[in-house]
Amino acid sequence: MNKLCVIGLGYIGLPTAVMFASHGLEVIGVDINQEVVDGLNNGVSHVDEPNLYETLNQVLESGKLKVKTSPETADAFIIAVPTPFTPMKLCNLSYVISAAESIVPHLKKGNLVILESTVAPKTTEDVVLPILAKSGLDVGEEIYLAHCPERVLPGKIMYELIHNNRIIGGINEISIRKAAELYGIFVEGELLYTNATTAEMSKLMENTFRDVNIALANELTKICDKIGINTWEVIKLANKHPRVNIHNPGPGVGGHCLAVDPYFIIEKAPEEAKIISMAREINNSMPEYVVSKVDELLYYAAGTPKIAVLGITYKGNTNDLRESPAVEIVDMLINKGYDVVVYDPYASCKRFAMASLEDAVKDADCMLILADHDEFKHMDIANITSTMRQKIIFDTKNCIENTEGFDGLLYKIGDGRCALTRV
């Protein structure tokens, strides 16, 4: 195995291409976006990931990685293109299909094709395989096909690519062997062999497991709220049991994985996927729940209350806005007539009024924390809130640790207190 073509140079494809190139393969990175290709050829990465930049420049300089807009012949092809969901919450395979079609003219006997993109079960066998067969080669006998889903966490991609276990889901034994040979070049975690459809389902279930468990925590929050007890205390005590791990409630579930992958299972078995569907519904209901709590907290506020939103990303310490519940919450608050100003040290959103922390908080009636950036955890709360009109903090991420000197109201999601009566 000498030459590899990676189709799709996004969050996963680019680090993967760089990783293989830095381990000695001749890699052709392909992206349909000319701007991305031009940028990379000038050493500018559109993916901001720790430790990626240096290695990227090394492999570009050494010529091990070449970046272009169309594929060419190689020994192996990796497809790592996005699989967004359609408005009907179905897996949109258009990028996977066009990526697979783009390599067909370049396929030759002995080639290996890997699908890394997260897809609904059976996509490798029912969608990708027939496309590759158009080459006239026998898929399974003359060319090999596997689904090897990525499982890395943004922010730790370069580390996790090497150290995580990797599922190798081949359409037959020889495909598994060939794919294992490829990933064995740099993967230090365990290589886990299975068939393609099982690999697809395992990847989806990892994120679905997390989504369902977060839904359980969010449901618990609503229940504790009704009963009048503190959710965080319940979770802390229950998690003292050695086999219990209740997740954290919050303003909802975002990102391109947990908020998307469960739908790919629901799509295949809507009647059976009851808990999975319900979990999606519960997590999707959290923005509305947060807004109802803001309404309660600001019930007595005069005029048009000003809300300073801290954090617009889908989770802490990232600039990623995809499926962010915070964006939905801000939209809802604006539609309700609140004056909303957003501060985020990592990201900006053109649709909203963004400001510095000081300006966002000045004269505000409520500080609403929607992402747990480290910066927020260690804020000097007493000082920062001193210019607020009403010192009300609503912490939906339970991230404020130090309240020394703060004389206002700190309300946390799952607090169990009626927000209205506390003001």
Active-site residue list: 203, 257
Beta strands in 285-359 (DSSP E): 306-310, 339-343
CB of 7 to ligand SAJ, least distance (A): 18
CB of 310 to ligand SAJ, least distance (A): 14
CB of 185 to ligand SAJ, least distance (A): 20
Contact residues for ligand SAJ (CB under 6 A)? 151-154, 206-207, 210, 214, 247-248, 250, 253-255, 257-258, 314-315
Please report which residue ranges of 239-314 form alpha helices under DSSP H. 261-268, 274-284, 286-297
Cβ proximity to ligand SAJ: between 153 and 238 the closer is: 153
State how far the Cα of 168 lies from the Cα of 149, in Å rounded to an integer. 8
Cβ proximity to ligand SAJ: between 71 and 252 the closer is: 252
CB of 251 to ligand SAJ, least distance (A): 8
CB atoms within 10 A of CB 300: 11
State how far the Cα of 392 lies from the Cα of 307, in Å rounded to an integer. 10
State how far the Cα of 251 lies from the Cα of 323, in Å rounded to an integer. 12
Cβ proximity to ligand SAJ: between 76 and 253 the closer is: 253
CB of 285 to ligand SAJ, least distance (A): 13
Cβ proximity to ligand SAJ: between 178 and 247 the closer is: 247
Output the six-digit token pair for 2.
């000498």
- For 409, counting Cβ atoms within 10 Å of its Cβ (0-12 exposed, 13-18 middle, 19+ buried), the class is middle
Measured CA to CA in angstroms, residue 86 lies from 83, 93, 116, 182, 334 at distances of 9, 9, 20, 33, 26
CB of 12 to ligand SAJ, least distance (A): 8
User: What angle separates helix 286-297 from helix 196-227, to the nearest 10 degrees?
Assistant: 20
Question: Cβ contacts of residue 260 below 8 Å, gap of 6+?
Answer: 84, 85, 118, 323
Cβ proximity to ligand SAJ: between 258 and 266 the closer is: 258
Question: Element (H or E) spanning 79, and its range?
Answer: strand 76-79
- Name the β-bridge partners of 65: 27
Cβ proximity to ligand SAJ: between 70 and 213 the closer is: 213
CB of 411 to ligand SAJ, least distance (A): 18
Measured CA to CA in angstroms, residue 153 lies from 17, 37, 341, 365 at distances of 17, 24, 30, 36
Instruction: Read off φ and ψ for residue 292, nearest 5 degrees.
Output: -65, -35
Cβ proximity to ligand SAJ: between 258 and 419 the closer is: 258
Measured CA to CA in angstroms, residue 167 lies from 33, 147, 180, 192, 373 at distances of 29, 8, 9, 5, 31
Residue with tokens 């809507």: 270
User: What angle separates helix 261-268 from helix 274-284, to the nearest 10 degrees?
Assistant: 140
State how far the Cα of 390 lies from the Cα of 272, in Å rounded to an integer. 49
CB of 383 to ligand SAJ, least distance (A): 27
